[in-house]
Structure 1
Amino acid sequence: MQRISSLAACRELGGLAAASPGVCAWKKGMTCSKQPAAHQQLAGMSVRPFTGVPGAQSRGLCRRRFVFVGQKHRLFSSQPGADGPPGSSGGQPGVSVVGVPDPITWIRCKVIIYLINLYFEIDMSSAEFERGVKQALIHVSNMMSSGRYHKLVGIVSNEMIDYVKTRCKSLTDAQRQHLAVTMDDIIFMLPEDVSVVFDRYGRKYCFIVMRFWFLSTYEGPDDPEGTKIFKVASSEDGNPEKKIVTAVYEFHRELTRGASPDWTVTTVWHWHWKQAE
C-alpha cells in the first residue's frame, strides 16, 4: 500500500513539476512544537467522527463556491479580470522532483476528503477549491509583505491576525517583502490534515490544513521540506537564486445547516519566519 501511494504521489508531483516554468516546523498531522494556535479549540467539543481529525452534518448541505468572508464570488488570479497581485515572477528556474511527501498522510487525507464530499457535498479536491486556497496564500502573503494587516480582516481570524503581526514585526523590511507569493511561484500543494468536528450543541465544523511549496528569493537557510521533495536548477541569467520554501495555512468552515459557506484562514505559517528565531 505504501509503495502504491508513493508512486501515485510521485506521479502527481512529476506532472506538476514538468508543467512549472521553471516536512520542518510543521510535521505530519499538524503536530509542531511551535504551532501557533492552529486548531482553536471550540468550547464543548466532544465528538470526533473521523479518526484523528476534528466535524460533520447531514446531506442537506448543497455544493457551494469556495469563498472567504468578505470576498464572495471574487475571481481567482488565474482568471481574466482577477484582482490578484499584478504581474508574475518572470522566468522561473527549472524544478525537478527528488522525493515524495509522506504517503500515509496523503492516503489518510484523500480518504477523509472523499468522505466529506460524500456526506456533505463539499468537494475539496476540485480545481475551484485549489484555486481558492492558492488565492488565499497569494492575498495573505502580499498583505503581510506590505504591512496592510487591515486587509486581512474578515479573511483571517482575529487571533491569527495578531499572531501574524507579531511574527512579521520580528523581520526586517527586506525579509518581510520576501513573504509575497505570486501564482507563478506556487509549485505544488497538498492537504496535511483534514478534520470534521461536532460540538455539544450540534454545530459542525470542517478544518483543512494545506502545505504549499513555492519559489522564493528568500535569503536564509534551506527549507528541509522543500529540498526533501524538489530541487531548483541554478540560475544562469544573473537573476537572484530561488529556493523552494513552504507555507502552511489552515482553513475553517462551519457545516451546520444555515451557516455561512465562507471559509476563514485560522492558521498562517511561513518558513521565512525561521529567520527571526
Structure 2
Amino acid sequence: MQRITSLAACRELGGLAACSPGVRAWKRGPTVNKQPAVRRQWAQGSVRPFSGEPGAQCRRMCRRRVAFAGQKHRLLSSQPGADGPPGSSDGHPAVSVIGIPDPITWIRCKVIIFLIKLYFEVDVNSEEFHRGVKQALVHVSDLISSGRYHRLVGIVSNETIEYVEKTCRTLTNAQRQQLAVKMDDIIFMLPEDVSVVFDQHGRKLCFIVMRFWILSAHDGPDDPEATKIFKVASREDGGPQKKIVTAVYEFRRELTRGASPDWMVTTVWHWLWKAAE
C-alpha cells in the first residue's frame, strides 16, 4: 500500500515539473518522515483551542470562486487577473524534486477530501480552492511583513492575530519583511491535515492545514522539511542564493446549513520564525 501511495504522490510532484518554471523532473529520493500533527476525527467533540503550532487547529461551494472572510472584493478564482499582477519567473534558480511527502498522510487527506465533497458538496481539491489559499498566503504574509496586523481582522482569527503579533515582536524589521510571499515564489503545496469537527453547539466545521514550499532569499538555516523534497541549484549570476522554506496555514469553514461560506485563516506559521530564534 505504501508503495502504491508513494507512486500516486509522485504524480503530483511530477506534474510540478511540467507546470512550474525552473522546476526539474522527478528524481527517486527518500520518503519524507511523517510530521507529528494533532489530528481531528470524524466524531462528536469540541473544537480544540488554538495553540500556535502547525496543525494545532486545523451548502455548497460557489462554483466560480472561493470566498475568504473579509476578502470578498478579491478575485479568488481562475478569472483573469485573479493572481494579481503577473509576476516573472526570471532569476529563479532551477529546483529539483528529490523526495516526496509522506504517502500515508497524502492518501489519508485525499480520502477525507473525497468524503467532504460527497457529504457536504464542498470541493477543496478544486483549482479554485488551490488558487484561493495561495492568494490568502500572499495577502496575509504581506500584511504581516509590513506590520499591518489590524488589516488581518476578519481574515484571520483573533487568537491567531495575537499569536502573530507576539511572535513578530521578536523579529527585526528585516526579518519580518522576509515573511512576505510572492505568488511566483510558491513552489508547491499539499494538505497536511483535513478534518471535520462537530462542536457542542451542533456546528460542523471543516479544517484544512496546508503546507506551502516557498522560495526565499533569507540567510538563515535550511528548512529540513524543504531539503527532504526539493534541491535548489546554485546561482551563477552572483545574486543571493535562494532556499526553499515552508509555511503552514490552516483554513476553517463552517459547513452548517445557513452558515457563511467564507474561509478563515486559523493558524499561521512560517519557518522563518523558527530560523530567527
Classify the TM-score, shorter chain: 0.7 to 0.9
Matches within 5 A, 1:154-193: 154-193=154-193
1:36 aligns with 2:52: yes
**Equivalent residue in structure 1 for 2:60, among 54, 59, 62:** 62
| Closer, same or farther: CA 5–177 of 1 in aligned 2, 3 Å | same
Which residue pairs with 1:138 in the alignment? Answer: 138
Q: Partner amino acid for 2:200?
A: R
| Closer, same or farther: CA 77–215 of 1 in aligned 2, 3 Å | farther
* 1:209 and 1:251 in contact (8 A); partners too: yes
What is the alpha-carbon distance in structure 2 between the residues aligned to residue 208 and residue 251 of structure 1?
A: 5
Cα drift, residue 145 of structure 1 = 0.9
Q: Partner amino acid for 2:201?
A: Y
What is the alpha-carbon distance in structure 1 between the residues aligned to residue 227 and residue 73 of structure 2?
A: 36
Cα drift, residue 197 of structure 1 = 0.8
Which residue pairs with 1:8 in the alignment? Answer: 8
Q: Partner amino acid for 1:157?
A: S
The secondary structure found in structure 1 opposite 2:258 is: coil
Equivalences, count: 255
Which residue pairs with 2:270 in the alignment? Answer: 270
Identity of aligned residues (%): 74
What is the alpha-carbon distance in structure 1 between the residues aligned to residue 202 and residue 250 of structure 2?
A: 22
Matches within 5 A, 1:2-151: 2-22=2-22, 27-30=35-38, 36=52, 39=56, 61-64=59-62, 65-72=65-72, 74-76=74-76, 79-82=79-82, 84=84, 87-88=87-88, 90-151=90-151
| Closer, same or farther: CA 268–182 of 1 in aligned 2, 3 Å | same
Which residue pairs with 1:47 in the alignment? Answer: none
TM-score norm. by structure 1 comes to 0.85
Runs (4+) of structure 1 exceeding 6 A deviation are none
What is the alpha-carbon distance in structure 1 between the residues aligned to residue 145 and residue 90 of structure 2?
A: 19
Q: Partner amino acid for 1:155?
A: I
Matches within 5 A, 1:230-249: 230-249=230-249
| Closer, same or farther: CA 146–83 of 1 in aligned 2, 3 Å | farther
* 1:213 and 1:245 in contact (8 A); partners too: yes
Cα drift, residue 70 of structure 1 = 1.5
What is the alpha-carbon distance in structure 2 between the residues aligned to residue 262 and residue 202 of structure 1?
A: 19
Q: What are the ranges of 5 or more consecutive residues in structure 2 without an aligned counterpart? A: 23-31, 40-49
The secondary structure found in structure 2 opposite 1:29 is: coil
Q: Partner amino acid for 1:256?
A: T
1:209 aligns with 2:209: yes
Cα drift, residue 63 of structure 1 = 2.6
TM-score norm. by structure 2 comes to 0.85
Cα drift, residue 77 of structure 1 = 9.0
Q: What are the ranges of 5 or more consecutive residues in structure 1 without an aligned counterpart? A: 41-53, 55-60
